[in-house]
Structure 1
Amino acid sequence: MTTTTTASTAPGLDAGPTPTSRLLDGSLAVAPLVYLAADTTYAVRGWDDASAGVLHVLGALGYALVVLAVAAWLPRTSRLAAWIVLTGVLGAGGNLAYGFDTIHMSLGDVPLVDQPGAANLIKPLGLFFPLSLVLVAVALERLGHRWQGALVLMATLAWPVAHIGDVAAVAVPVNVALVVALGSLLWGRRATGQRSSR
């Protein structure tokens, strides 16, 4: 008999929440909210604002936990989970670098993304971040969270348009969509955990 791991039977729920599962689950709400604050600050103050850069770095760290949270819901033998972890870690590196580059620019320095040679590393690493979110969307669909997966996918497809082109009118709605999609997963898991503990 074959069993399928779903959100309701994901590791950790039946045995009760652990400090690690609470941390990872909490990132589903915190990371998108912090990143929304970062992009809203960019929209108001410009794409070289130091405060936005700090929020950007914190949001990028939060999203590193988000990809680990979703990967942990998949079976341990899942190749998709391994790809989510790999792209998530690489993407976190790129995303963090872009945040630090903003702080760098706020001090009057030349943007790294405009430099040749070794500075070009920031660009391919940065592309792994939206790729990791595409894989997260696939995982959510497989786990039965279809509308959240679809919303994450749509937001992710618009992510490069918003952030490569520095288009605030796209960046802010993209982050609102991610707040709704990922935040709803947290409340759904809490409700499921409460039911299973009764």
Structure 2
Amino acid sequence: MNAVPGSPADRLLNASLVVAPVLYLISNVLYALRGWESDSAGGIFHVLGAVAYTLVLIRIATWTSGTFAAVLLVVGSIGIAGNVAYGFDAIHVALGDVSLVDRDGAAVLIKPLGLGFPLMLLLCAIALRRVAPRWVAILIGLAAVAFPIANIGNIPALGIADSVATVIGFGALAVRRVPVPPADGDPIVDGSTTASAMS
């Protein structure tokens, strides 16, 4: 996959690397201050941030190719769907409804879908390990591991730290150009980047 450098689509995808993590950070700060069960504003930013991560997913996919790119897109789509669902669930709970997490039947679908999001982050870290500074891939990888711990364990401080890590990691990618892999290249590109001097 690739996007024409400098095109409107390319600029939009680059902007998402900043916008999505920042929206999610705002959400986690609001959750920490007011509690996720009583703050619909946090849920709104949660949904907006989760939707914006769709563009982050596409951006990272343009920096890889082959089977890995396909897997990233499938897992990412599942994870983003689950993440959006959790955002709306938070809004419902804040309005007095019962959380889907506490319901049986079809409602349990939200749980496996939600776990797809940190898996997407982990795949993004793997995709970036040879086309971006190592510290960026490590930071995003750590965020992927911390995400389910913070959210399932309801640990606000860890949730904020996790969001800060993604803001720094993905934000660093927005200000540098990552090479586009050849169509027939390896799924994970091994090559130099203009950003490698900063690693």
Name the TM-score class by shorter chain. 0.7 to 0.9
Structure 1: distance between partners of 2:141 and 2:132: 15
Question: What SS class does the counterpart of residue 108 from structure 1 fall into?
Answer: coil
* Equivalent position to 1:127, from 90, 93, 115: 115
Query: Does structure 1 retain, via aligned residues, the 8 Å contact 2:81–2:114?
Result: yes
Superposition TM-score, scaled by structure 1 size: 0.86
* 4+ aligned runs moved over 2 Å, structure 1: none
Question: What SS class does the counterpart of residue 98 from structure 2 fall into?
Answer: coil
Gaps of 5+ in 2: 179-193, 195-199
Superposition TM-score, scaled by structure 2 size: 0.86
Question: What SS class does the counterpart of residue 170 from structure 1 fall into?
Answer: helix
Aligned position for 2:183: none
**Cα drift, residue 160 of structure 1:** 0.6
Structure 2 counterpart of 1:80, which letter? F
Higher helix share: 1
Q: Does 1:115 align with 2:99?
A: no
Gaps of 5+ in 1: 1-9, 193-198
Q: Work out the percentage of aligned pairs sharing the same amino acid.
A: 47
Q: Does 1:170 align with 2:169?
A: no
Structure 2 counterpart of 1:141, which letter? R
Q: Does 1:38 align with 2:12?
A: no
Structure 1: distance between partners of 2:81 and 2:25: 19
Give the superposed CA RMSD. Answer: 1.8
Describe the superposition over 1:9-51 as per-residue Cα deviations: whole angstroms up to 9, x where unpaired: x944xx5411111111110000000000000000001012100
**Cα drift, residue 189 of structure 1:** 2.4
Structure 2: distance between partners of 1:25 and 1:85: 17
Structure 2: distance between partners of 1:160 and 1:95: 11
Q: Does 1:158 align with 2:146?
A: yes
Structure 1: distance between partners of 2:155 and 2:148: 10
**Cα drift, residue 155 of structure 1:** 1.2
Structure 2: distance between partners of 1:171 and 1:57: 16
Q: Does 1:47 align with 2:36?
A: yes
Structure 2: distance between partners of 1:107 and 1:177: 30
Aligned position for 1:142: 130
Describe the superposition over 1:69-95 as per-residue Cα deviations: whole angstroms up to 9, x where unpaired: 0001113xx211111111111001100
Structure 2: distance between partners of 1:145 and 1:74: 15
Question: What SS class does the counterpart of residue 86 from structure 1 fall into?
Answer: helix
Q: In the comparison of the two structures, how many residue pairs are matched?
A: 180
Question: What SS class does the counterpart of residue 52 from structure 2 fall into?
Answer: helix
Describe the superposition over 1:100-121 as per-residue Cα deviations: whole angstroms up to 9, x where unpaired: 0011011101111110000000
Q: Does 1:70 align with 2:63?
A: no
